Amino acid sequence: MSVVIPYVDKPHPVTGVTNAKLGVWLFLASEVMLFGALFSALITLRLGVNDWPHGYDRLNVPLATLNTVVLIFSSVTVVMSWAALKMNNLKQFKTYMSLTLLMSVIFLVVKAIEYNSKFSHVPPITPATSNFYAIYFVITGLHGLHIIGGIIVNAYLLGPGSRMWKTEPERFTGRIECAGLYWHFVDLVWIFLFPILYLL
C-alpha cells in the first residue's frame, strides 16, 4: 500500500534534477515575483513624490553593512556544509550549518536593534510615519520573515532532520542543496535591498 515516487534522490535523466530541486527553483521564481512586486511598488512610490529622503540620511548604514557581510558569509558557510556532506563528513556539515544558523541569528539581532532604534525614537518612527519608512519596514520585514523561515528549515536539518543521513544520505544531501538554494535567494534579495534602501 505504499506509493513509490521516483527521482527523489536521483536526478531525472531528461531534466537533470531531482523533484525537490525543480520544486525549489519554481518556488524561487515565485519569490522573485513577490519581491519584484514590492520593489516595483517602491520605485512607483519614490517616483511619485519630490521629497523622497535618501536612505543614508535616515537609516543605519554601518549596521546594514555589517548585516550584508554576515549574510554573505552565511551563504558561504551553507555551501560549505553541503560540500562537507558531498565529502561524507557529517561532523563538518554540522559545524558549517551551525555557523550558518549563528550568522542568521546575528542578522536578526542586528535587524531588531535597527527596528528598535526606530520604534524608541521620539516620536516613534513606524510605517505610519511616511511611505519611506513604510516600504522600508514592509520589505525588510518580509525579508526578515523569510530569514526566520530559513532558520527553521536549517535548524531542523541540523537537528532532527540530520538523522536521514544514516538511512538516505543522497536524499539528505539533496535537501541541504535545496535549503542552500533558498538561502542564497534570501541573501540575493538582501543584496538588492541594501543599496536600494540604504545607499540611494
Partner 1 sequence: MTQAEHSHAGHHEMPFWRKYIFSTDHKVIGLQYGITATFFLLFGFLLMILMRWQLAYPGVEIPLIGKALTETGALTPELYNALGAMHGTIMIFLGVVPMGVGAFGNYLVPLQVGAQDMAFPKLNMMSYWVYFVGGVVMMSSFLMPGGAAASGWTSYPPLSVTAPNAQSVWLLAMVFLITSSLLGSVNTIVTAIQLRAKGLSFMRWPIHVWAQVATAFLLLLAFPPLEGAAVLQLSDRVFGSSFFLPSGLYIDGAKSTAAGGGNPLLWQHLFWFLAHPEVYVLILPAVGVISEIISTFARKPLYGYKTMVYSIIFLGFMSFIVWAHHMFMTGMGVTLSSFFQATTMIISIPSVIILTTLLLTLWGASIRFTVPMLFSLAFLPMFAIGGLTGLPLGLTASDIHLHDTYYVIGHFHYVVAPGTLFALMAGVYFWYPKITGRYMNEFLGKVHFWVSFVAINCVFMPMFLMGSKGVSRRLYDQTGYSHGAATQSWNVVMSTAAFVLLLAQIPFLYNMFTSWKTGKKVENDNPWGATTLEWAASSPPPHENFPTPVEVYREPYSYSPSSRKVSPQFSQQEA
Residue selected from 111, 126, 178, 187 as contacting partner 1 according to rule CB under 8 A: 126
| C-beta of residue 148 within 8 angstroms of C-beta of residue 140 | no
Residues in 79-108 at the binding interface with partner 1, rule: CB under 8 A? none
Q: Which three cell numbers stand for residue 78?
A: 551553507
Burial tier of 140 (Cβ tally within 10 Å: 0-12, 13-18, 19+): buried
Binding characters for partner 1, 3-42, by CB under 8 A (x = yes): xxxxxxx--x--x---x--xx--xx-xxx-xxxxxx-xx-
**Which one-letter DSSP state was computed for residue 146?**
H
Q: Are 76 and 99 in contact (CB under 8 A)?
A: no
* Best CA proximity match to 85, nearest among 75, 73, 97: 97
Contacts of residue 106, Cβ cutoff 8 Å, sequence gap at least 6:
70
Question: Does position 184 bind partner 1 by CB under 8 A?
Answer: no
| Cβ atoms of residues 136 and 144 within 8 Å | no
Min. distance of Cβ 89 from partner 1 in angstroms? 23
114 binds partner 1 (CB under 8 A): no
Q: How far is the CB of 83 from partner 1 (least distance, A)?
A: 23
Mark 132-171 with x for binding to partner 1 (rule: CB under 8 A) and - for no binding: --xx-xx---x------------------------xx--x
Q: How far is the CB of 141 from partner 1 (least distance, A)?
A: 9
Interface positions with partner 1 (CB under 8 A): 1-9, 12, 15, 19, 22-23, 26-27, 29-31, 33-38, 40-41, 44-45, 48-49, 126-131, 134-135, 137-138, 142, 167-168, 171
